[in-house]
């Protein structure tokens, strides 16, 4: 076995490696571009009594906060509209630790680089008094839910 045989094997290996990488990328494009299910399921957050005061209840695993505001409950996405950093509650506002953005408890921009208010998500209270939200659906209404 000479040096030429060894070089050919290296070339074959490199070709197979490149073909495998291209195949994996093509598979990723197909999976990512296929339509997602439009079905969504409301997530139960707890009894209405849990949301009695104005303290925002954060649900970091959902990226949502529920807060009692004038007129009812607000269901807000807890990602800064500037760069998407996770928000924190500081006093009576939401604060972004990345660049100092601040939002009111109703989701309106108060300070910092964000120019857009927080998104609202669909939410409500069912007949049994259980608060729910659907973080996969943005609410264009932007009004608190009577509760």
> How sure is the predictor about 5, in pLDDT bands with cuts at 50, 70 and 90?
low
What is the tens place of the pLDDT at every residue in 83-97?
999 999 999 999 999
Mean pLDDT of the chain: 85
pLDDT given for residue 9 in this prediction: 76
Question: Are residues 64 and 77 in contact, defined by beta-carbon separation less than 8 angstroms?
Answer: yes
Average pLDDT score over residue span 2-25: 64
pTM above 0.85, yes or no: no
* 28 half-sphere exposure, CB direction, 13 A CA radius: 6
What is the tens place of the pLDDT at every residue in 25-70?
655 544 444 444 456 889 999 999 999 998 999 999 999 999 999 9
């Amino acid at each position: 076995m000479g040096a030429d045989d060894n070089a050919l094997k290296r070339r074959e290996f490199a070709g197979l490696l490149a073909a495998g990488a291209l195949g994996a990328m093509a598979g990723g494009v197909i999976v990512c571009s296929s339509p997602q299910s439009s079905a969504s399921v409301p997530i139960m957050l707890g009894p209405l009594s849990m949301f009695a005061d104005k303290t925002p209840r954060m649900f970091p695993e959902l990226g949502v906060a529920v807060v009692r505001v004038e007129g009812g409950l607000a269901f807000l996405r807890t990602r800064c509209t500037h760069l998407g950093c996770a928000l924190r509650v500081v006093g009576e506002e939401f604060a972004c630790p990345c660049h100092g953005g601040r939002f009111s408890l109703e989701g309106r921009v108060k300070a910092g680089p964000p120019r857009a208010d927080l998104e609202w998500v669909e939410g409500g209270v069912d007949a049994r008094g259980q608060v729910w939200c659907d973080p996969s659906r943005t609410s264009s209404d932007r009004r608190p839910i009577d509760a």
